[in-house]
Amino acid sequence: MELTTLAKVKALMGYTGTSEDVALTQLVTSVSDRVSRALRRETEAAERTETTRLVRTGKTVTLCAFPVTAVASVKFSSTGDFTDIDALVEFEDYSVDLEQGTITLSVSTSGKFPTAQVVYTGGMATDTATFITDYAGLSAAVDMQIQLEAKRRQTVGSTSQRTSGGDIRYEGELDFFKGLMRQIVFHQRMVW
């Protein structure tokens, strides 16, 4: 899912024509994909099934997509095999933090391969328009990253560019700018 739109990027850059649309659309897709990976969480809300070994996490499962809007089932297996395993009962066997996307089991999690399986619906937004509304700061930072990359697309990896007004100096290779990194860290899934 794209985290912004071509129209937003063009408005930020002051573009009204269509000559740059193909390149900017590619940047919208590329930057959105890179930011989604950096977030370490699913941006598009959908139904998912996750299976997690509980070796390092103890009794807590941190889901890949949050906020969570619904949990269909949670199962625990001490062997990693969910055949004929009944679903656990919420409030009795586990609790859910919908906003953070964590499930804490209250059942014993011992066994050779302690594993939880969760069927749920979660993610940051159902579509790009909702993402832009609900995560306005992050989406605006994505717009600015696209603008920076569009301006540097002819000079990626170089440290300067000659212009009619003199040299423009770039420091280091092209990466996420600090404002976008702050937004990513704020919204990032924490993995232990």
Query: DSSP letter at 23?
Result: H
Residues 52 and 114 in one domain: yes
Residues 57 and 103 in one domain: yes
DSSP string, 100-166: TTEEEE-S---SSS-EEEEEEEE-SBSSHHHHHHHTHHHHHHHHHHHHHHHHHTTSTT-SEEEETTE
48 beta partners: 120
**Alpha carbons 142 and 144: distance in angstroms, whole number:** 5
Does residue 164 form part of some domain? Answer: no
pLDDT digits (tens, 9 = 90+) for 116-152: 999 999 999 999 999 999 999 999 999 999 999 998 8
Phi then psi for 15, rounded to 5 degrees?
-90, 135
pLDDT digits (tens, 9 = 90+) for 16-53: 999 999 999 999 999 999 999 999 999 999 999 999 88
Structural domains of the chain, count: 2
Residues 15 and 58 in one domain: no
Q: Whole-model pTM?
A: 0.82
